[in-house]
Structures are given as structure tokens and as C-alpha cells.
Amino acid sequence: MSVLIGIRHEDKYKMERRVAITPRHIEKLIKHHKLDFAVQSSPKRIFSDEEFVKAGASVENDLKKCNVIFGVKEIPESFFEPEKTYVFFSHVIKGQPYNMPMLKKMMELGCNLIDYERIVDDQNKRLIFFGKFAGLAGMINSLWSVGQRLKENGYNENPFLKIKQAHHYHSLEEAKQEISEVGQQIAEQGLPKELLPFTIGFTGYGNVSIGAQEIANLLPSKEISPEKLLELKNRGEVVSNVIYKVIFKEKHLSKRKDGSAFDLQDYYQHPEKYENDFEQYIPHLSVLMNCMYWDARYPRIVTKDYLEQAYKTGRPKMLVIGDVTCDPDGSIEFTHKGTEIEDPVFVYNPFTRKPTMGFKGEGMLVMAVDILPSELPRDSSEAFADALFNFIKPIAHADYDLPFEDIDLPRAIKKALILHKGQLTPDYKYIEQYLK
């Protein structure tokens, strides 16, 4: 009996236009693996219903005939049906309280849950991700934000004003072309003296940071170490047509409270022994791109208290924080929420400790769009489906009625099976503590 694979319409965000499996991939899967697809109709998805029909899928109003359903973001509780298999970013592995009702519903209905975030190799490296596109879009948006913020500060002719928000470009290639032209202008004409040295800091060195750096490298950039960053201002003459890039690793962000040497494994295992060591670098940065993994066990890197003290001595050098990590009240303490594509930035006032949406106002500008890859929906969906492609048939054909140990799934997929017949699988039993 053929398994009908469903692809759901994304409804968590108005501007969510991505899809996990594209028409190009569906056409190949039908041709080479004889799979059948039903796609839930969508008026906003970057790929039209007609493109899916042309690829060989049926377009339906609902997916009730499907036993295996692929999505991208979280799914409303009302959508789930008993004993079906769902594949999406569930955001439950940290016990996120806002998604526990969804997980409970899936458990009640005896569903299977495979989470893309947990599809990893034996070195625990993620195999399927949008992360690089979060970095790409995040850097585009942050450079656009620099232009707008400088304009608010009186720099009406600054070169960054040519850059648009990422979703206004038809493709990543078009965005890169325009940013390259801005880079050429900076190389030829330089930046205003008051902005020098112009520096961009990146926290983290994974896929998100790699994507952000790819865009920054379209500007006339030079990478320097965090140690060199601290010395830059002491140079007699700083060139106006170079943008300095700095990559911060864990050892630059935190230090041991007892003063002993930083140890990476100890940091991962005992983060409570560490405290912020990043504040020494903040006054030297023009833009901060926050691209790292963070959870509440680790020290924050920019706090509300720090920012209030910094503003007491005048407007800091830093123009924009691109918080791609986007943890509410997280590593950037004043990121109070992930923002929407239609309303992407806010200014946090360090004295009132309140944010104001938009570019105006006293304080720090933060760009914290929650679904950055959806600003480059066609490019990011194609890359995501490329990575997912070889797992689709085994996921669809697996017999989930078997005991967990006996299910024939690729090792990476089995590690990502959070729920099996409504029960938390062995690696995820710890989530029970968050369900009470």
C-alpha cells in the first residue's frame, strides 16, 4: 500500500513562506522512488500550488489522507490526528513552556514526532538546517538597519542606505549583488571619520555565523582577532575604507569566576562556574551579530545593567545588534521577543528599560526577526530540501507500529524521533519534567 506524504501550509507567521520539500524535489522523488505527495493549498507559499501540481503532487485543502506529514514551524494542536507521523521544528527539547501543550496533545493522540533540529551525525553535528540562511538574512537586515539608524543619527548620505531588508530582494543573488556594489562604494570613498574604525563582531562560528560572514565579506573587510580589536583605537591612523571583522569564541565571551584558565569542556559541563567576559569588547564594536547557541545556564553577553551604565557616559559606538540567536530575555537580555518580518526592529531605551518598535528613539537598535530564513524563502527551501532529500523515503516507509528498537530508520532520523506512539523515546525522557 502506497504511503501518501503530506506537506502542510505554514500558518504560525504571516510571512512564513518556506516549505520543507520543494516542487523540484517532489518531481525527483516521484520519478525515482514512486512516492505520492499531497500538498496543502497555500496562497502565500513561495512555490505556487501550480508548481506542485506540475511536479506531480495533488493539491488539497487538508491532509487527512496522509499518514506522514512534513512541515517547517510548530503546528496548531487542532491539526494533529491520532497515530500519524509529523516532521517539523517542534522547539520542545529545552522544555519550552509555550510548546508543552502541543507536545501533550501529540502524546494524547499517540503521534510520532521527528524533529529536524535533532537530526545529527555521530559527532552531534546537525545535518538538516536553515541556520546558514538565518545568518545570511540576518546580516542583510543588520546592514540595512545600520543605514536606517545612521540616517536617524544625521548621516543622510551613508552608503548602507542602498541596502534593503532581505525579503525585498527576489533572490539571495540579487541581495549579494547590491551589497557588493555598496562594498565597492565604501572601498572607493570610505566611511565618515566619526564612524571609524568600523567593526562587526560575530559571536559563534557555526552555520549561522558562516552565513552572516558570507554577506559581510562582500564589503571591503579584514578579519582581526578580539585582542587586536582592543588595540585598534590606539592606532594613529585608521583607514576609512576597511571594515574590520572579529569572531568571538566561547573563551572571549566568558571567564572562570575563580580566575583560573578557561577550559572549553569545563565550560560546557559547568557553566555556573563562569561569568561574562565580553563587556570589554562591546565599546569597540559598531555592529554585533549574535549568532551562537545559548541557553539559560550560560552567562549573558549584553545585559540591561551594562547598557544603562554605557549610555550614562554618552551614546556608545555600537549602532545595531543583529540578534540572530533571538532568545527572548536571553544572551542579549533586552531582546524581549522575536520580531516579525513586517516589524523587524526595535530601539531599547536603557533608562526606561522599554522597547519601541522601529528605528526612532534613544537607545540600542536591535534586529531580532524570529524566522530570518523565510526572508529568503526560495533559496532556503531549496537548500533545506537538498539536505532532507535522502531521508524522505525511509521516514515515509518506516513501520512505526513496531517497538522503538525495531523501527528501521536511518540512525540520524532515529535519534530525532522524540515521540513514538505518543511516548517520549529514551533520549527524551527528560522532557517529562517540563510537562507537569
Tens of pLDDT, residue by residue over 9-39, are 999 989 999 999 999 999 999 999 999 999 9
Check residue 7 and give its pLDDT: 98
User: Under a CB-based contact definition with an 8 Å cutoff, are residues 259 and 252 in contact?
Assistant: no
Rounded to the nearest angstrom, the gap between the alpha carbon of residue 382 and the centroid of all alpha carbons in its chain is 17
Mean pLDDT over 140-154 rounds to 97
Contacts of range 89-93, beta carbons closer than 8 Å, 24 or more positions apart: 89/115, 89/116, 89/117, 90/115, 90/117, 90/418, 91/117, 92/418, 92/431, 93/117, 93/118, 93/418, 93/428, 93/431
User: Under a CB-based contact definition with an 8 Å cutoff, are residues 90 and 427 in contact?
Assistant: no
In a shared domain, residues 139 and 269: yes
Check residue 233 and give its pLDDT: 79
Provide the 3-class DSSP secondary structure of residue 403.
Answer: coil
In a shared domain, residues 124 and 210: no
Check residue 241 and give its pLDDT: 96
Determine what percent of the chain is predicted with pLDDT higher than 90.
Answer: 93
Check residue 400 and give its pLDDT: 97
Closest alpha carbon to 277 in 326, 219, 227? 227
pLDDT band of 436, cuts 50, 70, 90: confident
User: Under a CB-based contact definition with an 8 Å cutoff, are residues 169 and 180 in contact?
Assistant: no
Q: Which of 360, 375, 390 is the last residue of a domain?
A: 375
Check residue 238 and give its pLDDT: 83
Closest alpha carbon to 167 in 195, 129, 136? 136
Mean pLDDT over 203-212 rounds to 95
In a shared domain, residues 242 and 184: yes
In a shared domain, residues 116 and 256: no
Check residue 131 and give its pLDDT: 85
In a shared domain, residues 104 and 177: no
Measured N-to-C along each axis, helices 377-397 and 23-33 cross at an angle, to the nearest 10 degrees, of 30
Cell of 283: 565599546
Q: Is the pLDDT of residue 105 over 70?
A: yes
Grid-cell match 566619526, residue found: 194
User: Under a CB-based contact definition with an 8 Å cutoff, are residues 99 and 75 in contact?
Assistant: no
Cα separation, 1 vs 256, in Å, equals 59
Q: Which of 346, 375, 404 is the last residue of a domain?
A: 375
Handedness of CA 9, 15, 17, 18 (dihedral sign): negative
Measured N-to-C along each axis, helices 131-152 and 207-216 cross at an angle, to the nearest 10 degrees, of 50
Cα separation, 30 vs 23, in Å, equals 10
Average pLDDT of every residue of the chain: 95
Cα separation, 214 vs 208, in Å, equals 10
In a shared domain, residues 45 and 82: yes
In a shared domain, residues 74 and 165: no
Beta strands in 98-232 (DSSP E): 112-115, 198-203, 221-224
Mean pLDDT over 180-195 rounds to 96
Q: Which of 375, 404, 420 is the last residue of a domain?
A: 375
Q: Greatest CA span in the chain, whole angstroms? A: 75
Domain count along the chain: 2
CATH at 162:
3.40.50.720
- In angstroms, the Cα distances linking 181 to 106, 160, 240, 335 are 50, 10, 17, 32
Handedness of CA 90, 371, 216, 251 (dihedral sign): negative
In a shared domain, residues 339 and 385: no
55 Cβ contact list (under 8 Å, min separation 6): 23, 24, 26, 27, 30
In a shared domain, residues 139 and 225: yes
In a shared domain, residues 156 and 108: no
Check residue 295 and give its pLDDT: 86
367-409 confidence digits (pLDDT tens): 999 999 999 999 999 999 999 999 999 999 999 999 999 999 9
Determine what percent of the chain is predicted with pLDDT higher than 70.
Answer: 100
Q: Is the pLDDT of residue 3 over 90?
A: no
Mean pLDDT over 345-362 rounds to 97
In a shared domain, residues 394 and 429: yes
DSSP code of residue 406: G
Cα separation, 41 vs 95, in Å, equals 32
> Which range marks the domain in which residue 75 is found?
4-129+377-434
Mean pLDDT over 127-155 rounds to 96
- In angstroms, the Cα distances linking 151 to 148, 163, 285 are 5, 13, 19
Q: Is the pLDDT of residue 2 over 80?
A: no
Task: Specify whether the backbone of 410 is left (phi greater than 0), alpha (psi in -120 to 50) or beta.
Answer: beta
Q: Is the pLDDT of residue 1 over 80?
A: no
Strand pairing class (354-357; 364-367): unpaired
Residue 392: enclosing H or E segment and its boundaries? helix 377-397
Measured N-to-C along each axis, helices 377-397 and 131-152 cross at an angle, to the nearest 10 degrees, of 160
Question: CA torsion 221→137→166→144, rounded to 10°?
Answer: -40
In a shared domain, residues 165 and 194: yes
pLDDT band of 236, cuts 50, 70, 90: low
- In angstroms, the Cα distances linking 174 to 47, 163, 165, 194, 212 are 19, 11, 12, 31, 16
Mean pLDDT over 186-198 rounds to 95
